[in-house]
Amino acid sequence: MRAFRQIGSFKKPTTRFIQVFGKKASKGKVELEQEGLEALLQGKSIPGSSGLENGYIILSLKGHVLGLGLLVNGKIISQIPKKAMKVLGF
């Protein structure tokens, strides 16, 4: 199973990798509130945690891994495919 790809200056985990191992991640993970998820789904960015470095992060809601976000300069941008969100009921 391929785990990472190099995208520009960041290493991006594959979707399959985070689906299998994302729950076990202890770093690079953000637990969203419903309002934050809704903002991301509307194409807006949300503030990121100050302890995180720029790059790809795992996004979860109520302990369920949703997909990836991209943290750049303190702002999180969703990388979750809209098709995946429909499957999850969002």
pLDDT, tens digit, 9 for 90 and up, residues 12-38: 988 888 888 888 988 899 999 999 998
Give dist(CA 29, CA 9) in Å, integer.
19
Q: Give the list of residues 6+ apart from residue 63 with CB closer than 8 angstroms, or none.
A: 23, 31
Residue 44 neighbours by CB distance under 10 Å: 13
Looking at the structure of the chain, the number of domains it has is: 1
Identify the band that residue 43 occupies on the pLDDT scale cut at 50, 70 and 90: confident
CATH of the domain at 76: 2.30.130.10
**Enclosing domain of residue 70:** 4-87
Identify the band that residue 6 occupies on the pLDDT scale cut at 50, 70 and 90: confident
41 vs 85: which has the higher pLDDT: 41
Average pLDDT, the chain: 87
The pLDDT value recorded for residue 82 is 74
